Structure 1
Amino acid sequence: MLIKKQTSDTIILPSEITPRDVFESRRDFIRRVAIGSIASASVIEMAQREAFAQTPGAQKLAATINPAYASNEKKTAYKDVTSYNNFYEFGTDKDEPAVNAHTLKTRPWTVSIEGEVNKPMVLDLDALLKLAPIEERVYRLRCVEGWSMVIPWLGYSLSNLLKKVEPNSNARYVEFISLADKKQMPAIRFPVLQWPYTEGLRIDEAMHPLTLLTLGLYGEVLPNQNGAPVRLTVPWKYGFKSAKSIVKIRVTKDLPKTSWNVANPSEYGFYSNVNPEVDHPRWSQASERRIGEDGFLSRKRKTLMFNGYNEVASLYAGMDLKKFY
């Protein structure tokens, strides 16, 4: 089988890329990096099994169930949660992070917290694990592409960490910066986005109890493809707002630039709240498909405002959420 080689003329520009646009072409250029330019289905399957074997998913992480964040909804199967991922540093197709992310080294790992704070800190992973009691919280995750999952995440409110560094009177926003290492993350050699991946929240959003500094899922530490060893989970916003493999948290006075907003500001706003009344320019956000439950031909679920987390509505009182999308 002949594989068309990628050239500088055929690389997709950030302003052109969205997950649906690149679906047909993105599979080849990342997979070629991971397993060669000629790959049979059996080789791909073998690589995926090897990737699962090398991720830290077998390491247990003790957590107390928080009944305030329990759910009667059916949880998405572990195999779906860990094999259907958006993590562009390891590939733009959904199965590629699970295949490629075994190269990520999660120890040693440090996160610096700096900026408009009175007590800047650099914490290693063990310190983060001990900073506050770890809870299990079942959160829905809604992706801008139109699919959703229900996941038992493990972690604690980000506010626990932010209170330690004491944001000062200039603190208005919180910026999250992910690891960008070509040796560990093969796909960042392609200009799909401006690396490192960067996201941001308003300070009151970051301090809200729902905002989770996430260290695990399903009773285990985070698998690499899910953003190990530390990520954000902001359940009322679209999934791309939840930065993965975080190495720096910066408290700022000014609105931080975020990766998808820089790439395509007409499609990805800073707030990115789940809002069924604001369509993506090329598809509706009024419904969603639950991974592992609703097939492509099955009836889709109605998308809920704020993904159903109405307790955050007061954060946006008086704002036009069609304008501030």
Structure 2
Amino acid sequence: MVEILIPFLAIISSCYLLKYSCDTFEQSAAYLGRKLPPGIKGATVNAVGSSMPEMFVVISFLFWFNDPDMVMVGLGVTAGSAIFNGCVIPALSILMAKDENGKSVSAISLDKGSLLRDVFWVLSAEIMLVVFLGFSQMTLWMALALNACYLGYAIHLYVDSKRNSDSVDEEEYEYEEIKSRGFFINILTFNFNALLFKNKEFSLARAIAVLSLSIIVIASASHLLADGVIDTADVLGVPDFFAGLIFGAAASSIPDLILSVKDAKNGDYEDAVANPLASNTFDTTVAFALPLCVWFLLNGKTELAMQTGEDLNILRWSIIGITVAVACSLLFNHKKVTKSIAFLLLTIFAAWAGSMFYII
């Protein structure tokens, strides 16, 4: 019985580690990106911070397990994360949203222009990935093209931010301080700024030190998650790919979920919805493709055989279909996104997860 529970405990433990280590990562990364315009900062600092788990899971399969065939499990994590981010995170953000007085609201409103921009790039990234997965091999040039797609998104955000607002001055930099709650609690929550620097205001050296330590914890947690996903598949008797698609994706999306719900509770509805969409673009392009680029270059190869089949085709197109459904639900109701839309998104996710289990 204990052996059966161990894989699930590993996944739960990785969720805990990822939650607090990503909090620390975002705190120090926000300081390092303090001079960036808001748009480019959100597309780089915020997206990278909440998407580090997906990237390190792919890195773990490629380099730690040293098994390129396992990259399909990493793809399952990033693909499942895209569905989770698109459906569950906006839904819970809507349900948990509050106004400036801290009272629950029945609906939220979103900026249509910003929503269209984020939807365009996440769909572009997903369509590009789906087309590439239609081939029997993933090549170096395909991986580079995915990274270039994210670069285009970042440039678009930068142009938008310059058009609508001035750059952020260093003096205007603010961050949510992670309060010191005693030595042992600080250790358990990876509050490195409190442990090492007594919660003093960041300097460049302090921020880099805290960022580096948080990356080490995120990498370790992602490796634990990768182990848990493989072992869970063995226990349940399901393909490794499916375990990554559901369990790995949900666990790696914990930082996105917490960040968006926190924004929604603070009345920052735009950020709450933009974060998962931007993270999806990052996951689909950089988190999956950048480790592949490095693997190609280090091993002197230009192509990697990919799993093909009807099941994968269904998954590929379901990602785009669900993204379109989520986009339409938000765009057509952007002036008043009600809780009924939230329940619709949760229903879509449950139906997708059930159908994937049945098919795969």
Shorter-chain TM band: under 0.3
Between Structure 1 and Structure 2, the one with more strand by share is 1
Between Structure 1 and Structure 2, the one with more helix by share is 2
TM-score by length of 1: 0.28
